Amino acid sequence: METAKTLPQSKDRLLNTCFLLFCLCLMDALFTDLGLRNGHIQESNPFVRYIYDLSIVLFYFVKLSLPFFLFTLMRFVKPSSNLKNLIVIAIIVYVVVISIHISWIVIMTAFI
């Protein structure tokens, strides 16, 4: 059970976690854009592929708006444990995705 003294620290930790999620999302968007522009990868998500083909600015907006919205929302609501778990799962997924991006960058660099 949290006391009034520990609540700000916990909220700050959650905001930092949301910021980490935003940074990972930004890295994913940058690496995806780099790979698509250079023809090294193909976007496997049909919705994201459609957005990217429509507008690169819209692609970045969509990719970054969801974690930004979550980051903003966390400042005003008391998060539940389910929400915290979902954020942790999202971070794990993004770490895996970033690892895949880094692996294809290393592979493409080795063969060029």
- Complete DSSP assignment for 13-80: HHHHHHHHHHHHHHHHHHHHHHHHHTTS-----HHHHHHHHH-HHHHHHHHHHHHHHHHHHHTTS---
Give 98's Cβ-side CA count (13 Å radius): 17
The dihedral of CA 50, 54, 56, 62: what is its sign?
Answer: negative
Q: What is the pTM of this model?
A: 0.78
Which tokens in the block code for residue 32? 């995806």
If you search the block for the tokens 């909220």, which residue do you land on? 11
Question: How do the pLDDT tens digits run along the chain, 112 residues long?
Answer: 454 444 445 667 877 888 899 899 999 999 999 889 988 888 889 999 999 999 999 999 999 998 888 777 777 777 777 777 888 888 999 999 999 988 888 888 787 6
Q: What CA–CA distances, in Å, run from 26 to 22, 29, 46, 47, 109? A: 6, 5, 19, 18, 22
